[in-house]
Structure 1
């Protein structure tokens, strides 16, 4: 599958496509869990390397 990922909302929509909705009170915990889910999707080859890298950059930017 090939998704257009331009911002954090797109990362959340990508996760939603795979049935993953993440709610945490602490924003940093939420970002950590989102990153773990993205890692899992890439590990099981459900998303492309390009999508994976875009997600990682967006999550990293969101942390700052």
Structure 2
């Protein structure tokens, strides 16, 4: 598993579609759903760890983007 899209496809296999409108919140909700799938024994540990790794990376990237946007807004004012 390498991309956020891959994680979305994994969740889709179980009928889970996540779109809140905020990418950070979407990622956080995906982590919760993955943990539930793993806890229930529906996905293997390797698949869970790989997906969480992707989501953590994406979350950090999005946070840095959001921070950059905030800095740009502050600079404009």
Give the alignment's TM-score, normalised by structure 2: 0.74
Tell me how many residue pairs correspond in the alignment. 60
Q: Deviations over 1:3-42 (max 9, x none)?
A: xx22211100000000000011111111111000000000
Higher share in helix: 2
Please, which of 12, 19, 22 is the counterpart of residue 23 of structure 1? 19
User: Equivalents in 2 of 1:8, 1:18: separation in Å?
Assistant: 16
The CA RMSD over aligned residues, in Å, is 0.7
Partner of 2:9: 13
Q: Which residue of 2 aligns with 1:53?
A: 49
Q: TM-score, normalised by structure 1?
A: 0.89
Higher relative contact order (CA 8 A, sep 6+): 1
Rg larger in 1 or in 2? 2
